[in-house]
Chain A
Amino acid sequence: MAPSKTKQNGHDKAEPKAQGSTEDLLKFYREMLLIRRFEEKAGQLYGMGLIGGFCHLYIGQEAVVTGVQAVAQEGDSIITGYRDHGHMLATEMDPRGVMAELTGRIGGYSKGKGGSMHMFSKEKRFYGGHGIVGSQVSIGTGLAFAHKYSEDGGVAFAYMGDGAVNQGQVYESFNMAALWKLPCVYVIENNQYGMGTSVARASANTELFERGYAYGIPGKQVDGMDVIAVRDHAAKAAEHARSGDGPMILEMMTYRYRGHSMSDPAKYRTREEVSQMRETRDPIEHVRKALLGGEKVSEDDLKAIDKEIRQIVNDAASFAQESPEPDPAELWTDVLVDA
């Protein structure tokens, strides 16, 4: 299934693509490139044994979180599953703190005690980073509940993969969110494979944006490789949620270039499929071409951004290697808050 596919019937019909301004495109280029370069560096540090355990890279999916978070407002909250580094960077969490958490160092967001899948920032209202597939959907619904309870006008963005949509608690959450009209935008990042199982082999109905229909939740399928399309659909969904109309589901058709995790040889798909996607559908290349096709941005302008991003990522990588491992005494801290 091609990521550009959009459903053409009923209220799920995708709107025509909109153009982004040069400023928007430059912002998105920069943000997506930061995620891309950060993840490549993380992959490299993993290869060097500096990052351990599970490490799920977001390479290929950058347009999704970048476009969605572009419409988030001050006070909105965000939660996702285990493929979470991109979401942290998109909420402007410090790349140093994220990378140092990956290397398990005291300078990491969780002092090295959480790792790749477990980082949080109350300040940025980033609520994880969750390793149990689907759990973030119920918790994200709780974040939306808190927005409504507190009457703070906020919206919760709950991200999940195409694998998570078959978990029972996702539907328990959809039901409650629709029943109570909670301000929640559910973002399904359909990268076509739940680990090694394609959507078609896992889902009786592969139109994942329809998964809320039984609860009256509107859904849209969106080209998740086009950051402008992502942003525009996210804006409508957020407005829907913020105005008290309840939750909405966005199915972002996307693709991950790397394996499910670092140790995935990716035998369930062909090299050609991956190459084809990278060569023809890459979200960053898409924006790059759009920028260069205009009058205002030159190759040199983009090179300058590339250089700046590389510096940020190298700085994060150096910090992540220089920051010490947590003190042994940290073993015993943060189990309970003192009452």
Chain B
Amino acid sequence: MPIEVLMPALSPTMTEGTLAKWVKSEGDQVAPGDVIAEIETDKATMEVEAVDEGTLAKILVPAGTENVAVNTAIALLAADGEDASAVDAAAKPGSKGDTGESPAEADAKGSPKGQVDSEERADAPPAAAQAAAPPASDEDKYFKETTRMTVREALRDAMAEEMRADQRVFVMGEEVAEYQGAYKVTQGLLQEFGAKRVIDTPITEHGFAGVGVGAAFAGLRPIVEFMTFNFAMQAIDHLINSASKTLYMAGGAMGCPIVFRGPNGAASRVAAQHSQDYASWYAHCPGLKVVAPWSAADAKGLLKSAIRDPNPVVFLENEILYGQNFDVPTDPDFTVPIGRAKIVRPGKDVTVVGYSIMVGKALEAAEALAGEGIDAEVIDLRTLRPLDVATVVESVKKTNRIVSVEEGWPVAGIGAEIAALMMEHAFDYLDAPLARVCAADVPLPYAANLEQLALPQPAAIVKAAKAVCYRT
């Protein structure tokens, strides 16, 4: 049985080409890797190499033939022991074949379809069909006994508790150990856990993010601190390409349990390169979980959940919040589930959704609105991916009006996402279009007055809330 040599595709898009030249002649011996012909596509001339050993028994497509379809039999190869002269000269030029199997088998196997009915996709797990309920939480019961502490202390306690519980957990980053943290978030960890588990890195974000990913692949539970998320832009390839996509690319065989944490967004007067909210960047990407807490209790409960989570989690903190005090449950079993928003101020007239530092601004705005007879419900999203759509939708069903607040820019931002989600899930309940309150669409300026103007302030939230309530 002679082996058919087929017209090869040399790129994913090639469907036909010109058989420019035969390098071997009928009767020549060929071995795997020998160049037997040259073909031309619209892009280049390429060489066709033999895969099998044997004698070139019959050339089916002569040199110079144009528009030869991919997978057309172009020659017959007599295998060892076959009589080349006896090869069926009647073999039809242009017949489709396979690697030595019969053409019937080849047809049965065929090439992959690669095309599916769009219905299949529409019936599959929906992005938009309905808002899934958020994960259950028993967090409220822990608030019977609380202590007053800063966000900074709450984050530190979360790491310390998880490091006590799991030897695989370690923290690495710039100045996390001997300096005690650039913002003192890791204060005391070196003293308790030692240099093996609290690791000062060189200033080398791209590199140590990759080291963290490798350690996670190997079964450890790294907490990678970025001094600020502005510097994580150096490392974002590892957060997205290495951490978030591996589980999917591995078909579930291997994942990346890691926490990337650090302050995000504007601090105070540090100008454009050190003042950016990356929430929408990370929230865009499947395979990541993205958390951005406001209160110290949520910071602690969510960081504990993030460290225990088997997936990569981007944990966005805020420098200005680090020093703010909140009531935090004392029970070390207190955690907050990722993916669950929290109504931090119930109200009936307008829903205000925000995350991180903007929750505080929204609460200030709500107080001002109350003075004007508008009862605002403030929702702290807490998690940006997966977003707790159900809680927001339930609120809008009650208030029929919504304002989104974020420190990021408006274009393709979290507010834009909320707006789209409301169109999909709450259109019939809206009495006014959603209003967005965002940072001004400019790099953050340094001058005190301009910075104040660029960042969302309570007054802007009040104005937006009144607008959706059709009040002036």
Q: Which residues of A contact B (CB under 8 A)?
A: 36-37, 40-41, 43-50, 52-53, 59, 77, 79, 103-105, 108-114, 118-122, 127-128, 130-132, 135, 137-147, 149-150, 156, 168-169, 172-173, 175-176, 179, 257, 262-263, 265, 267, 271, 278, 314, 317, 321-322, 325, 328-329, 331-339
Contact = CB atoms under 8 A, between A and B. Distances in A.
B204 A141 contact: no
14 contacts: A40-B32, A47-B7, A48-B99, A105-B112, A118-B250, A127-B218, A138-B213, A139-B210, A139-B211, A139-B213, A172-B204, A175-B202, A257-B33, A271-B35
Interface in B1-50: 6-12, 32-33, 35, 43-46, 48-49
Contacts, number: 226
B172 to A, nearest CB: 9
What size tier do the contact residues of chain B reach? 35 or more
A69 to B, nearest CB: 18
Nearest to B71: A48
Interface stretch (B176-184, B252-260, B424-432): B252-260
Contacts of B238: 135, 138-139
Given A46-B8, A143-B218, A334-B247, 7 more contacts: A49-B9, A111-B251, A114-B249, A118-B246, A175-B204, A333-B252, A335-B286
B111 A109 contact: no
A169 B213 CA distance: 13
B309 interface: yes
B217 interface: yes
A132 B235 CA distance: 13
**Chain B at the A interface: mostly helix, strand, loop or mixed?**
loop
B248 interface: yes
Given A50-B111, A52-B12, A176 B242 contact: no
A321 B207 contact: no
A138 B214 contact: yes
B92 interface: no
B338 interface: yes
Contacts of B449: none
A273 to B, nearest CB: 14
B214 A113 contact: no
Nearest to A123: B253
Interface of B: 6-12, 32-33, 35, 43-46, 48-49, 51, 70-71, 98-100, 109, 111-114, 116, 120-121, 124-125, 170, 196, 201-202, 204, 206-220, 237-238, 241-242, 246-255, 257, 286-287, 289, 305, 308-311, 338
A142 B212 contact: yes
Contacts of B120: 328
A232 B139 CA distance: 59
B49 to A, nearest CB: 7
Nearest to B237: A132
Given A135-B238, A139-B213, A325 B113 contact: yes
A78 B310 CA distance: 22
Given A334-B247, A336-B311, A120 B237 contact: no
Contacts of B219: 146, 150
Contact of B251 (A59, A131, A262, A334): A334
